[in-house]
């Protein structure tokens, strides 16, 4: 594990994040930060749970509230599960040829109920045929789910969140584009600083995205030798993961 | 008991905002909603509410910027503000200069607390 986060700017001006700050991102520190991140959905679930039990609501409202409790708990569980995997997985993860299109479809299928409940939409843009990539399917799903959860509150009905698969030579990029407050240019540095101070505050202008999910995604990507990065836009951001194309099929 | 006073709810989490709104409207308050500071300022300018219930974590400019803005004008400085937050280390004495009259710990609150607290600042 590296001692320093290596943030490089590529030819397109995007920021790739490699490595991690081992002593900062150890399990206990991240757990403390995660506790803060998980407080928000737990507060919401508690309030919704109390509201479900109230006498003065209609059956229709009760059904809606129950659905919100379920979806909020699923969002929290996704984060908790990824954090657990990050904490317990010390070694590199087993890799295999993975069809990114199939993974993206699964992720969108999982996220769509939550997005719909918030009046948001998430779409997939891709060519019909995409090369196989070298990845761990489960981890790749978690990374994209983290990007999706991060983007949830920054889309609008006018601008759906876009998940896009693009080929780049021997790499495939899967990006999640949102439309919302711009992220600071030194976002990753801010995140690591906040985690290290055990004072994780929301990412600038993005209260629903304190960054634990993104840090988790970065750590998981590192375990399968892929790169997580961000493209800043005036009206939002694209979080992406770059994956190596699998050469296995070329051997046949 | 029925109240006709208006309360502005400023909350970036829409379902939590819905929840606060339901509680307040069920007790006769009229509620206006804002999800971020810019929208809140516009709404306050159009129709100053009797009280504000807000989160400290907002989209866009932070809550303290909004509170500072409200304190900068005589017609908005006296609007009582109630902060709903899960941040355990908040000190009312530090926030009082920003017009904050009450802090509700959202990790422990009961839904009816929001109505009771609004009433307490409107007395």
In this complex, do A56 and B106 lie within 8 Å of one another by their Cβ atoms? no
The more confidently predicted of residues B76 and A252 is B76
**A122 contacts A111 by C-beta, under 8 angstroms:** yes
pLDDT averaged over every residue in chain A:
78
- Residue B104 to chain A, least CA–CA distance (Å): 12
Rg for chain B, CA atoms, rounded:
13
Question: Strands A161-168 and A171-179: what pairing?
Answer: antiparallel
Helix, strand, coil shares, percent, chain B, to 5: 45, 20, 35
In this complex, do A46 and B110 lie within 8 Å of one another by their Cβ atoms? no
* Predicted pLDDT of residue A227: 87
* Predicted pLDDT of residue B57: 77
Please tell me what DSSP assigns to residue B36: B
Q: Is the pLDDT of residue A5 over 60?
A: no
Tokens read off for A223: 């375990």
SS (H, E, C) A15-27: EEEECCCCCCCCH
- Residue A143 to chain B, least CA–CA distance (Å): 23
Widest Cα–Cα separation across chain B:
37
Give the model's confidence band at A28: pLDDT under 50 very low, under 70 low, under 90 confident, else very high.
low
B37, closest residue in chain A (CA to CA): A205
Number of inter-chain CB pairs under 8 A, A vs B: 49
Q: Does domain B6-122 have CATH number 3.30.565.10?
A: no
Count of other CB atoms within 10 angstroms of residue B46: 8
- Residue A44 to chain B, least CA–CA distance (Å): 6
Residue range A211-242, pLDDT digits in tens: 677 778 888 888 888 888 888 887 788 889 99
Which domains are assigned to chain A? Answer: 6-251 (3.30.565.10)
ipTM for the predicted complex? 0.86
Q: What is the mean pLDDT of residues A9-19?
A: 53
Query: How far is residue A28's CA from residue A242's CA, in Å, rounded to a whole number?
Result: 28
In this complex, do A50 and B111 lie within 8 Å of one another by their Cβ atoms? yes
Q: Is the pLDDT of residue A196 over 60?
A: no
Tell me the DSSP string of A138-167.
HHHHHHHHHHHHHHGGG--SSS-EEEEEEE
B contacts of A46 (beta carbons < 8 Å): 107
Q: Is the pLDDT of residue A244 over 70?
A: yes
Tokens read off for B28: 């006769």
- Residue A39 to chain B, least CA–CA distance (Å): 7
A51, closest residue in chain B (CA to CA): B111
* Predicted pLDDT of residue B71: 92
pLDDT tens per residue across all 123 residues of chain B: 445 799 999 998 889 999 999 999 999 999 999 988 888 999 998 889 999 999 887 766 778 888 999 999 888 999 999 999 887 778 888 889 989 999 999 889 998 999 999 999 998
- Residue B20 to chain A, least CA–CA distance (Å): 9
Query: How far is residue B83's CA from residue A88's CA, in Å, rounded to a whole number?
Result: 38
Count of other CB atoms within 10 angstroms of residue B15: 20
* Predicted pLDDT of residue A3: 33
φ and ψ at residue A148, rounded to 5 degrees: -65, -45
Q: What is the mean pLDDT of residues A48-55?
A: 89
In this complex, do A43 and B107 lie within 8 Å of one another by their Cβ atoms? yes
CB-based contact (8 Å) between B65 and chain A? no
Query: How far is residue B12's CA from residue B36's CA, in Å, rounded to a whole number?
Result: 6
Query: How far is residue A157's CA from residue A121's CA, in Å, rounded to a whole number?
Result: 7
**A183 contacts A210 by C-beta, under 8 angstroms:** no
Contacts of A35 (CB under 8 A, 6+ apart): none
Lookup result for tokens 């992406």? A240
* Predicted pLDDT of residue A247: 78
A contacts of B58 (beta carbons < 8 Å): 207
Closest to A162 in 3D by CA, of A195, A199, A125, A127: A125
* Predicted pLDDT of residue A10: 55
In this complex, do A153 and B61 lie within 8 Å of one another by their Cβ atoms? no
The more confidently predicted of residues A212 and A47 is A47
CB-based contact (8 Å) between B112 and chain A? no
Count of other CB atoms within 10 angstroms of residue A61: 14
Query: How far is residue A117's CA from residue A114's CA, in Å, rounded to a whole number?
Result: 5
Q: Which SS3 state, helix, strand or coil, does residue A200 take?
A: coil
Q: Is the pLDDT of residue A208 over 60?
A: no
- CA atoms lying within 13 Å on the CB side of residue A170: 6
B55, closest residue in chain A (CA to CA): A207
Please tell me what DSSP assigns to residue A91: S
Residue range A73-84, pLDDT digits in tens: 998 898 888 888
Give the model's confidence band at A203: pLDDT under 50 very low, under 70 low, under 90 confident, else very high.
very low
Query: How far is residue A224's CA from residue A228's CA, in Å, rounded to a whole number?
Result: 11
In sequence order, which ranges of chain A are alpha helices (DSSP H)?
A: 27-52, 59-88, 100-117, 137-151, 187-196, 212-223
**A165 contacts A177 by C-beta, under 8 angstroms:** no
CB-based contact (8 Å) between B12 and chain A? yes
Residue range A142-195, pLDDT digits in tens: 999 989 988 887 666 678 899 999 987 889 999 999 886 666 656 556 555 555
In this complex, do A181 and B60 lie within 8 Å of one another by their Cβ atoms? yes
Query: How far is residue A24's CA from residue A245's CA, in Å, rounded to a whole number?
Result: 31
Q: Which of B13, B66, B106 to mutate to test the interface with A (most CBs of A within 10 A)?
A: B13
In this complex, do A207 and B58 lie within 8 Å of one another by their Cβ atoms? yes
CB-based contact (8 Å) between A205 and chain B? yes
Count of other CB atoms within 10 angstroms of residue B116: 14
Contacts of A64 (CB under 8 A, 6+ apart): none
Query: How far is residue A127's CA from residue A134's CA, in Å, rounded to a whole number?
Result: 18
- Residue B112 to chain A, least CA–CA distance (Å): 10
Domain ranges, ordered by start, for chain B: 6-122
């Amino acid at each position: 594990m590296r001692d320093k986060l290596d943030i490089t700017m590529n030819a397109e001006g995007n920021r790739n994040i490699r490595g991690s700050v081992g002593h900062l991102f150890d399990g206990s520190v991240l757990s403390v930060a995660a506790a803060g991140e998980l407080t928000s959905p737990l507060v919401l679930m508690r309030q919704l749970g109390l509201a479900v039990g109230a006498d003065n609501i209609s059956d229709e409202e009760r059904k809606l509230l129950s659905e919100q409790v379920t979806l909020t708990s699923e969002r929290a569980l996704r984060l908790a599960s990824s954090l657990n995997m990050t904490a317990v997985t010390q070694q590199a993860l087993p890799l295999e040829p993975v069809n990114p299109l199939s993974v993206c479809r699964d992720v969108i299928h999982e996220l769509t109920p939550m997005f719909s409940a918030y009046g948001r939409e998430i779409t997939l843009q891709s060519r019909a045929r995409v090369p196989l990539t070298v990845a761990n399917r489960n981890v790749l799903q978690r990374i994209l789910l983290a990007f999706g959860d991060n983007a949830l509150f920054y889309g609008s009905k006018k601008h759906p969140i876009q998940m896009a698969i693009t080929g780049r030579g021997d790499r495939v990029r899967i990006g999640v584009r949102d439309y919302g407050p711009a992220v600071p240019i030194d976002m990753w540095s801010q995140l690591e600083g906040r985690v290290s101070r055990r004072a994780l505050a929301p990412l600038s202008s993005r209260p629903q995205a304190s960054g634990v999910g993104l840090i988790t995604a970065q750590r998981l990507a590192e375990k399968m030798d892929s790169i997580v990065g961000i493209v800043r836009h005036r009206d939002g951001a694209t979080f992406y993961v770059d994956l190596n194309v699998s050469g296995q099929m070329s051997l046949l | 008991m029925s109240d006709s006073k208006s309360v502005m709810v400023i909350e970036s989490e829409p379902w939590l905002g819905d929840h606060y709104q339901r509680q307040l409207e069920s007790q006769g308050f009229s509620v206006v909603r804002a999800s971020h500071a810019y929208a809140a300022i516009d709404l306050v300018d159009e129709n100053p509410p009797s009280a504000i219930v807000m989160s400290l974590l907002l989209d866009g400019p932070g809550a303290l910027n909004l509170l500072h803005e409200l304190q900068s004008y005589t017609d908005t400085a006296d609007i009582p503000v109630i902060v709903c937050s899960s941040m355990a280390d908040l000190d009312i004495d530090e926030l009082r200069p920003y017009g904050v009259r009450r802090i509700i710990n959202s990790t422990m609150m009961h839904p009816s607390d929001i109505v009771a607290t609004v009433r307490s600042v409107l007395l």
